Amino acid sequence: MSPPSDLTDRNALTSRIVPSMTLSTGSPTSKTAPPTNPIAQDSTTGARQRFSVTGNAVITGGAGTLGLRSCDALLEHGLKGLMILDVNPAESEKEIQAMREKFPYATIATMVVDVTDEERVSEAMKEAVRVLGSIDHLLCFVGVVGCVDALEMPVSQWRRILDINTTGSFICAQAAARQMVEQGKATEGPGGGGSITFIASISAHRVNYPQPQAAYNVSKAALLMLKSCLAAEWARYGIRTNTVSPGYMDTILNEGDGLTEHRRLWAERNPFGRMGTPGELTGAVVLLVSEAGGYINGADIVVDGGGIVF
């Protein structure tokens, strides 16, 4: 008589082989070698180089308000190519066309992509490489929220929010990192690599008030740990992984008469006495993607006017 399958599975645990992480040596020939940038001879050049953004970026949810503002900032700091992935980039075609006119030297393209579709994301990354030449940075802005008491929340809503916000971010990060690793193989010694930035939230750090939104909070908190795991595992490839946690931002998602009282409470409970503006998020984004962020890995930058102190 065969033993129960669960007993067989338990016995197999004693003979399993668990893989181990490989960390970089930090040697001059590694992907994490220290920079050799000399001090600039003049202040203007030094300031420009410090926050310079090189290469190409893929930005998911890039057609939204926060994503578009960060796209513009990255292009201002030198980004050469941009692929915006969004479920409906056509909604922001006017703004995207304005960026093309503002940055005629840059290649700016869009694709319709559902980040939960693994095959579609993989195709999009390959298309980004074909159009831009490489993927050097990934920024994940995609996110959905649902405000409902946990007792009443449909499980389908819980799954959808985590599938988009957390699993979708992992799918995009994995597909982009695989491309970055391949690019690095073509480079002898230091070189290759890139950066991955997830847009998390203050909701990852504390419970929001007064709105109940357990699924969203959990999905963003998971991004903080995902960021840390990838920062540890992928550093040896020269890939830096970080998060930015915005506070309440004054965008269309937080507008409407039905949110008047909520907006008042959010402002009153913040040391700044107000919500943030989309442009106030771009400094952290540029820092993490630029040369100045070269030794920032596994970090989370909170941009919330100090709301997190309470």
3-state secondary structure the chain: CCCCHHHHHHHHHHHCCCCCCCCCCCCCCCCCCCCCCCCCCCHHHHHHHHCCCCCEEEEECCCCHHHHHHHHHHHHCCCCEEEEEECCHHHHHHHHHHHHHHCCCCEEEEEECCCCCHHHHHHHHHHHHHHHCCCCEEEECCCCCCCCCCCCCCHHHHHHHHHHHHHHHHHHHHHHHHHHHHHHHCCCCCCCCEEEEEECCHHHCCCCCCCCCHHHHHHHHHHHHHHHHHHHHHHHHCEEEEEEEECCECCHHHCCHHHHHHHHHHHHCCCCCCCECHHHHHHHHHHHHCHHHCCCCCCEEEECCCHHHC
**Which among 231, 237, 117 is positioned nearest to 171, based on CA atoms?**
117
| Distance (Å, whole) CA 11 – CA 245 | 43
Q: Flag the least confident range among 117-121, 174-178, 184-188, 263-267.
A: 184-188
| CA end-to-end distance (rounded Å), the chain | 62
pLDDT tens-digit profile of 14-62? 778 888 999 999 999 999 999 887 787 888 888 888 899 999 999 999 8
* pLDDT at position 115 over 80: yes
Would you place residue 6 in the very low, low, confident or very high pLDDT band (cuts 50, 70, 90)?
Answer: low
pLDDT at 200: 96
pLDDT tens-place string over residues 152-191: 999 999 999 999 999 999 999 999 999 999 998 877 667 7
Amino acid letter for position 57:
A
Quote the distance between the C-alpha of residue 302 and its chain's center.
14
- Does 133 or 267 have the greater pLDDT score? 133
Report the alpha-carbon angle 242-235-141, nearest 5.
25
Q: Tens digits of per-residue pLDDT, 204-229?
A: 999 988 888 899 999 999 999 999 99
Query: What confidence tier does 272 reach under pLDDT thresholds 50, 70, 90?
Result: confident
**pLDDT above 80 for 12:** no
Looking at the annotation, which residues are catalytic?
216
Domains in the chain (CATH in brackets) are 45-304 (3.40.50.720)
| Residue 17 pLDDT | 85
